């Protein structure tokens, strides 16, 4: 879309490269979940689960492509939702009920029961950021957008959007709430160890067989994300870079064969990233999501403003991405308490509008096609 709307293979390549840079940490974060689960249930090193999940996803993405990813996502989504519901019920039961959990949290640390939370981590700015982040900036996430390619008509798309949103809202809310409840029944987890909370809750309260079956829901959540990321990253290299820039005459057969090699290479890099585990799962995902979220600027302005230009898109994204990395890694204070994506996206929009006003817009033919 971006390459066609802004008449630029350069922008297509730029976006593809940044996709890969931010998708690999997100893929690595998903594999960490498998390592955590295997360690809790078997005592095996985390890297064994990380490598195992990575290999499985690579194999079915190589053999089934986006259709295979969609079919497995249906099963994985059901498992994920079931696991979230059971984990929440279990966490409430282990804690002795809502009243007992609330009383114990207050006793452990009054900040647990007051805004903005322990260490002031969730002030209003950050709280609002989380809401906007996961609802609005999803439109610039290739892993989510590619799902629409497999839908046969608008009716299916409408139903899928509603059901998918409800399913993710229920699953995410209950799992996060379970984590809060788990502070009471499984205290003392700090730093990266907080990633262990869900498997520990299930292991502690259910029979080994049932908890093992349910924990597949957590594995499924990771796998359903990895496969979409892997398919998107592979397409970025084979279609947007190789076919558009290196070999425009490449046939579909050549692209298919190349895709399988690229899938393996990217998958292996993601596995290595997961094994290194530089941060918690949530922090890695937040960083990757933010890096991709900057592209909301050219997507929105490209959709709704004829005056948006190629130069504006380049400038806006470049400034936004540079500021995002700086704010995330070195200067968090520049975000004024908000998630860096919120502030950097605003800068990207401003820069894109200013540069677009001073540069030539797309041809009338292209604008007619996109604004008919």
DSSP 296-329: HHHHHHHHH-TT--HHHHHHHHHHHHHHHHHHHH
Give the whole-angstrom CA distance, residue 123 versus residue 129: 10
Rounded Cα distance between 303 and 1, Å, is 10
Superfamily of chain region 11-279: Sodium/glucose cotransporter (1.20.1730.10)
Give pTM, 2 decimals.
Answer: 0.76
Check if the beta carbon of residue 228 is closer than 8 Å to that of residue 69.
yes
Report whether pLDDT(46) > 70.
yes
Determine how many CB atoms are found less than 10 A away from the CB of residue 354: 13
pLDDT > 70 fraction of the chain, expressed in percent and rounded? 98
Model pLDDT, residue 353 = 97
Name 132's Cβ contacts closer than 8 Å, sequence gap at least 6.
342
CB burial of 155-191 (b: ≥16 within 10 Å; e: otherwise) equals eeeeeeeeeeeeebeebeebbeebbebbbbbbeeeee
The whole-chain average pLDDT of the chain stands at 86
User: Does 143 have pLDDT greater than 80?
Assistant: no
pLDDT at 30 over 70: yes
Q: How confident is the model at residue 200 (pLDDT cuts 50, 70, 90)?
A: confident
Looking at per-residue pLDDT, the higher value among 347 and 131 belongs to: 347
Q: Which tokens go with 16?
A: 């593809």
Q: Which residue has the tokens 């249930």?
A: 41
DSSP string, 63-79: HHHHHHHHHHHHHHHHH
Average pLDDT for residues 125-150, to the nearest whole number?
A: 80
With 80 as the cut, is the pLDDT of residue 25 above it?
A: yes
Distance CA 161, CA 155 (A): 10
> Rounded to whole angstroms, how far apart are CA atoms 124 and 121?
10
Residue 199 three-state SS:
helix
Predicted confidence band of residue 294 (pLDDT cuts 50, 70, 90): very high
SS3 state at 3: helix
C-alpha to C-alpha distances, 356 to 213, 271, 359, 366, nearest whole angstrom: 54, 40, 5, 16
- Structure-token match 């297509």, residue found: 12
Range with lowest mean pLDDT among 210-214, 276-280, 289-293, 362-366:
276-280
What local confidence, expressed as pLDDT, does residue 65 receive?
67
Distances in Å between the Cα of 318 and the Cα atoms of 258, 294, 339 are 29, 9, 18
Provide CATH 1.20.1730.10 ranges for the chain.
11-279
Q: How far apart are CA 303 and CA 184, in angstroms?
A: 48
pLDDT in tens, 310-362: 999 999 999 999 999 999 988 988 988 888 999 999 999 999 999 999 999 99
Q: Note whether 30 and 223 are within 8 A (CB).
A: yes
Per-residue pLDDT band at 107 (split at 50, 70, 90) = very high
């Amino acid at each position: 879309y971006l390459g066609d709307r802004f008449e630029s293979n350069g922008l297509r390549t730029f976006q593809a490269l940044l996709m890969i840079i931010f998708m690999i940490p997100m893929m690595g974060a998903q594999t960490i979940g498998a390592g955590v689960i295997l360690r809790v249930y078997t005592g095996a090193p985390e890297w064994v689960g990380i490598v195992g999940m990575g290999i499985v996803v690579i194999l079915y993405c190589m053999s089934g492509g986006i259709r295979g990813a969609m079919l497995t996502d249906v099963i994985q989504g059901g498992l994920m939702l079931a696991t979230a519901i059971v984990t929440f019920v279990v966490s409430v039961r282990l804690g002795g009920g809502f009243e007992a959990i609330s009383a114990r949290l207050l006793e452990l640390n009054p900040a647990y029961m007051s805004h903005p939370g322990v260490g002031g981590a969730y002030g209003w700015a950050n709280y609002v950021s989380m809401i906007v982040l996961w609802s609005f900036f999803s439109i610039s996430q290739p892993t989510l957008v590619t799902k629409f390619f497999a839908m046969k008509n608008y009716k299916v798309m409408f139903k899928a959007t509603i059901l998918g949103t409800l399913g993710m809202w229920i699953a995410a809310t209950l799992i996060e709430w379970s984590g809060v409840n788990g502070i009471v029944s499984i205290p003392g987890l700090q730093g990266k160890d907080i990633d262990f909370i869900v498997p520990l809750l299930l292991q502690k309260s259910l029979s080994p067989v049932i908890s093992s079956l349910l924990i597949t829901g957590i594995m499924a959540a990771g796998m359903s994300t990895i496969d979409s990321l892997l398919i998107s990253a592979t397409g970025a290299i084979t279609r947007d870079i190789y076919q558009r820039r290196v070999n425009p005459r490449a046939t579909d057969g050549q692209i298919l064969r190349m895709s399988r090699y690229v899938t393996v290479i990217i998958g292996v890099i993601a596995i290595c990233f997961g094994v290194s585990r530089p941060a918690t799962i949530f922090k890695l995902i937040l960083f990757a999501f933010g890096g991709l979220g900057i592209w909301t600027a050219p997507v929105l302005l490209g959709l709704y403003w004829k005056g948006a230009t190629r130069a504006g898109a380049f400038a806006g994204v470049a400034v936004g991405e540079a500021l995002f990395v700086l704010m995330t890694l070195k200067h968090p204070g520049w975000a004024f308490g908000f998630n860096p994506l919120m502030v950097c996206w605003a800068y990207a929009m401003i820069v894109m509008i200013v540069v677009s006003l001073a540069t030539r817009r797309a041809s009338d033919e292209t604008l007619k096609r996109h604004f008919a």
